[in-house]
């Protein structure tokens, strides 16, 4: 039975409202933990008509919140995907990423050498490397964050997937909540949302979560790529360019 | 449908934004006191931009290195880097 529960995410995207759908599980249920709210997924493309909820489409991401304090039965419970920032700092993660990146670089190198080498400019080669690095980074995130999913979908998920459902009638309360933010913060938050892939219309709490993970991931990316560049240029005999200043 | 939508109050926003402070290198080093939320958001934007710039520069650098390396030593070195790590 679905009731609208503690919804801490809502926003608009392409004319659709979206909210997090929480399911209150009254009794033992495959969705989640009995007697508690569980995150069932994200509902997009809905709108209100009078008092009834109309659905345009659903994008589910059914992570159940395992907030069970009691032992309960041991079963497969998906944890709420709260990205842990620590993993981006571990050496293991960086090594895994470096290997994946080197594999990708070999492929890039192979394709550009075999193909029309004259057609590829320095800029396009650099872009190819950047894209490969980003895709490897997004893959390392294992789909737990919005920005990583957006990168893997070619950053056009919102445009492609979400249809322009009917103009939603914003609930009065939602409007008031939006206004509670001072406009200065809102514009800056919007700029921030545009900087992170796939987070354009995210509400602030979720946005900040994505931002922290994105920053940690980018820092790791810089560390890994610097190390690779150093290793390659030391041997290749290529003139080592000025060290790209890493944030760490 | 009773909706218990949590309205994001200002204190909540400020609390969330101040959490960002620990991510930003400058404020980390200086150990600055609480900066305003707007300033923190701005710093975050700048930091992300600078990180992106770093990655772009590194990408260019890597592509240049790969271009100048001949294939045999490139492959060898890549394998070596993999084995090293």
Q: DSSP character for A8?
A: -
8 Å CB contact of A208 and B16: yes
- On whether the pTM is more than 0.95, the answer is no
How many CB atoms neighbour CB A245 within 10 A?
11
8 Å CB contact of B62 and A195: no
Contacts of A169 (CB under 8 A, 6+ apart): A47, A48, A49
Interface probe for A, chosen from B39, B43, B66, B72 (most Cβ of A below 10 Å), is B66
Question: From B68, which residue of chain A is nearest by alpha-carbon distance?
Answer: A238
> A91 to chain B, minimum CA–CA distance in Å?
10
Task: Note the pLDDT of residue A117.
Answer: 55
The Cα A20–Cα B9 span in angstroms is 18
Q: For residue A225, which residues of chain B lie inside 8 Å, CB to CB? A: 55, 58-59, 62
Task: Note the pLDDT of residue A245.
Answer: 45
Interface probe for B, chosen from A23, A176, A215, A232 (most Cβ of B below 10 Å), is A232
3-state class (DSSP) for residue A169:
coil
Task: Note the pLDDT of residue A171.
Answer: 53
Task: Note the pLDDT of residue A114.
Answer: 63
Residues of chain A with pLDDT under 70: 1-83, 112-120, 155-180, 235-248
Half-sphere exposure of B60 toward its Cβ, with a 13 Å CA cutoff? 12
Q: Are strands A10-13 and A36-49 parallel, antiparallel or unpaired?
A: unpaired
Q: Which of B20, B51, B54 sits opposite A208 (nearest CB)?
A: B20
How far is the first Cα of chain B from the last one, in angstroms, to the nearest whole number? 55
ipTM: 0.81
Task: Note the pLDDT of residue A111.
Answer: 73
Give tens-digit pLDDT for B40-52. 889 899 999 999 9
Task: Note the pLDDT of residue A49.
Answer: 59
Give tens-digit pLDDT for B28-82. 555 556 678 888 889 899 999 999 999 999 999 988 888 877 667 667 777 776 6
Size of interface A-B (CB pairs under 8 A): 188
Q: List the strands of the sheet with A36-49, edge to edge.
A: A10-13, A16-25, A36-49, A52-59
8 Å CB contact of B82 and A241: no
Task: Note the pLDDT of residue A14.
Answer: 46
Task: Note the pLDDT of residue A192.
Answer: 93
8 Å CB contact of B52 and A218: yes
Give tens-digit pLDDT for A75-96. 454 444 455 788 898 888 988 8
Q: For residue A4, which residues of chain B lie inside 8 Å, CB to CB? A: 1-5
């Amino acid at each position: 039975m679905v009731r609208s529960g503690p919804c801490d995410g809502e926003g608009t995207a392409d004319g659709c409202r979206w909210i997090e759908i929480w399911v209150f599980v009254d009794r033992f249920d495959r969705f989640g933990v009995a007697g508690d709210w569980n995150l069932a997924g994200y509902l997009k493309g809905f709108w209100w008509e009078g008092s009834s909820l109309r659905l345009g489409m659903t994008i589910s991401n059914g992570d159940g919140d395992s907030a069970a304090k009691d032992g309960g039965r041991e079963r497969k419970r998906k944890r709420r995907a709260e990205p842990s920032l620590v993993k981006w700092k571990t050496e293991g993660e960086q090594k895994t990423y470096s290997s994946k990146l080197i594999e990708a670089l070999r492929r890039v190198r192979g394709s550009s050498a075999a193909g029309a080498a004259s057609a590829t400019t320095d800029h396009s080669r650099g872009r190819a490397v950047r894209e490969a690095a980003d895709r490897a980074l997004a893959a390392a995130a294992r789909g737990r964050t919005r920005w990583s999913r957006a990168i893997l979908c070619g950053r056009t998920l919102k445009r492609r997937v979400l249809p322009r459902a009917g103009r939603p009638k914003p609930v009065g309360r939602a409007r008031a909540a939006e206004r509670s933010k001072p406009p200065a913060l809102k514009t800056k938050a919007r700029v921030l949302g545009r900087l992170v892939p796939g987070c354009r219309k995210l509400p602030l709490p979720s946005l900040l979560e994505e931002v922290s993970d994105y920053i940690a991931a980018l820092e790791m990316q810089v560390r890994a790529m610097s190390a690779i560049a150093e290793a390659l240029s030391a041997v290749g005999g290529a003139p080592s360019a000025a060290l790209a200043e890493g944030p760490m | 449908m009773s909706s218990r939508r949590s309205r994001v109050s200002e204190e909540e926003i400020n609390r969330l934004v101040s959490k960002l402070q620990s991510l930003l290198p400058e404020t980390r080093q200086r150990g600055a006191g609480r900066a305003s939320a707007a300033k923190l958001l701005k710093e975050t934007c700048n930091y992300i931009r600078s990180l992106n710039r770093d990655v772009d520069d590194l990408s260019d650098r890597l592509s240049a290195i790969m271009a100048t390396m001949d294939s045999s030593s490139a492959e060898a070195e890549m394998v070596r880097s993999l084995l090293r790590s």
